[in-house]
Amino acid sequence: MTEMNLGSFKIMKNLHYILFLFLSFSLIFTQTSQRDYNDELRYQNDAINAMKKEMKALRSKIGKANTNEVTTVKRITNLDEEIALVSKLIQSLSNEEQKTRNRVQVLEKDIKSKEEKLELLRLRYEQRIVNTYRKGRLSQLEQVLSSTSWRQAVYRTQYLKIISEIEQEMTKQIETLLVQISKQKLELETVLWQNTALKREKKSQMSSLRKMKIKREKQLTQIRQDKSALANYIQEKSAGIKQLEEILKKVLEDKARFEREERIRQQQEALQTKSFHALQGKLPWPAGGRIISKFGKQWNAKLKTTTENPGIDIKGKPGSAIRTVLNGVVTTITYIRGYGTTIIIDHAGGFYTVYSHVTNIQTHVDSEVRGGDVIAYMGDSGSINGSKLHFEIWGKGQKLNPEKWLTKQ
């Protein structure tokens, strides 16, 4: 198993172990009556940071692999160029070799021709010598004396001398040419030997270059496989981090819910020490203005109908502040048809206050508020009567008359 494969095995093993570990922690903490959210969050963050660190290392390896890939591709390109040059040189050497062989063959034919002529002259010369010895030295003299006139004798003597000189000169020339041609042949054979040796050397070099190219191509294939594997590991780790972040988000949500429930529980304990009914007539007004619609059944003379108002409607200046009447936790911010944007606050002990037709909200769900905090501003959201606040108090499942709980104006 290669180093890369061993590394990937360890990475996957660690990933599965970490996920198993933190899922187990989540399960154990869920089953216990009291959870240490800070420990859970620390464990989750440590795991995420560890995996991010591993991903950083993997990305660094991919960066190195990219560099190696570029270098290897460049080396292969250089090898291709070198192979092409050596191949061209071998072809050129082969052409020169053939030309040299052809010239050697021509010289060999020329040498053979000259040797044949030389041999012929030698044979003629040898025959003359043989004839001279057979007939004796007087034969030439006899030829001269047998002449019919003195002039003929002179001509015959000069003729014999010229023939002898020509044959000797031709012999010399042929021998000189043979030496020159043999020298040329030797030089060409030396060049041919050098050419053949160089071609053999270049063929050996070509073989080495091709082997090196095969080696580099295998390296390139391995580098690209490793890159692909690293990319897959990063993708798997990203998925693992996403799972851990989902777990972390769940822990944060559980912690927020627990803290909210704890705040409500503490408020309930505080209210238990003092009866909510003791607050009757002592709660501050949620907004400035005058009541335009009271609690309970209301007769509409214009429409000649009776309507049930679950709270009171306070007419005030547009944009004036809306304040919470008591400490609590914001449980709901929503839009209700006929009431517009509405905020509901839990004051524990089964008591809630409701603020409708508000605008420019200054709080959010699960936010803890104190009495007198500005939570919104008066608007006309969902109202047909302009800017106003619809205010309700709920107590233990019933709609209470807010005027009995607010201070007298």
What pLDDT is stored for residue 357 in this prediction? 92
Q: Could you give the maximum distance between any two Cα atoms of the chain, in Å? A: 187
Average pLDDT, the chain: 77
- Is residue 17 pLDDT above 60, yes or no? no
The residue ranges of every structural domain in the chain are 1-273, 279-405
357: closest CA among 336, 379, 327, 377?
A: 379
Quote the pLDDT of residue 144.
47
Q: How confident is the model at residue 5 (pLDDT cuts 50, 70, 90)?
A: very low
Q: What is the pLDDT confidence band of residue 237, given thresholds at 50, 70 and 90?
A: confident
Least confident window among 301-315, 322-336, 386-400: 301-315
pLDDT in tens, 283-318: 899 999 999 999 998 877 776 788 889 999 999 999
Q: Which residues contact 310 (CB under 8 A, 6 or more apart)?
A: 295, 392, 399
| 281 Cβ neighbours under 8 A, 6+ residues apart | 404, 405, 406, 407, 408
Phi-psi region of 75 (alpha: psi -120 to 50; beta: other; left: phi over 0): alpha
Which tens digit of pLDDT belongs to each residue from 259-281? 777 766 665 566 554 555 678 88
The pLDDT confidence band at residue 101, using thresholds 50, 70 and 90, is confident
Pairing state between β 351-356 and 296-300? unpaired
- Report which DSSP code applies to 316: -
d(CA 391, CA 324): 10
* Residue 184, C-beta contacts closer than 8 angstroms, at least 6 positions apart: 107
Q: Which of 108-117, 147-156, 199-208 is predicted least confidently?
A: 147-156
Residue 150 above 60 pLDDT?
A: no
pLDDT, tens only, 337-391: 888 999 999 887 788 999 999 999 999 998 888 888 999 999 887 677 788 999 9
* Residue 294 exposure: Cα atoms within 13 Å on the Cβ side: 8
Highest mean pLDDT: which range of 151-160, 170-179, 276-285, 322-331: 322-331
Highest mean pLDDT among 128-142, 183-197, 306-320: 306-320
pLDDT tier at 126, thresholds 50, 70, 90: low
Return the percent helix, strand and coil in the chain, to nearest 5: 65, 15, 20
Helix, coil or strand: residue 387:
coil
Q: Do the beta carbons of residue 388 and residue 314 sit within 8 Å? A: yes
Q: How confident is the model at residue 167 (pLDDT cuts 50, 70, 90)?
A: low
Q: What is the mean pLDDT of residues 142-165?
A: 53
The alpha helices in 136-146, defined as continuous H runs, are: 138-145
pLDDT at 376: 96
Q: What tens digit of pLDDT does each residue of 79-92 get?
A: 888 888 888 888 88
In this prediction, residue 183 carries a pLDDT of 79
Identify the three-state secondary structure at position 139. Answer: helix
Q: What is the pLDDT of residue 274?
A: 52
**pLDDT at site 82:** 84
Q: Is the pLDDT of residue 10 over 60?
A: no
pLDDT > 70 fraction of the chain, expressed in percent and rounded: 73
Which position has the higher pLDDT, 136 or 341?
A: 341
Q: Indicate the SS3 state at residue 394.
A: strand
Give yes or no for a contact between 395 and 275, defined as CB atoms under 8 angstroms apart: no
> What pLDDT is recorded for position 52?
84
Residue that is written with structure tokens 């010399």 in the block: 172
Nearest CA among 298, 297, 293, 351 for reference residue 324: 351
Q: What is the pTM of this model?
A: 0.44
- Say how far apart CA 295 and CA 309 lie, in whole Å: 5
Confidence (pLDDT) at 31: 42
User: For a pLDDT cut of 90, what percent of the chain falls above it?
Assistant: 17
136: left (phi over 0), alpha (psi -120 to 50) or beta: left
Nearest CA among 406, 324, 329 for reference residue 366:
329
Q: Output the pLDDT for position 277.
A: 66
Q: Which CATH superfamily is domain 279-405 in?
A: Glucose Permease (Domain IIA) (2.70.70.10)
Task: Give the model's pLDDT for residue 132.
Answer: 55
| Range 12-41 average pLDDT | 54
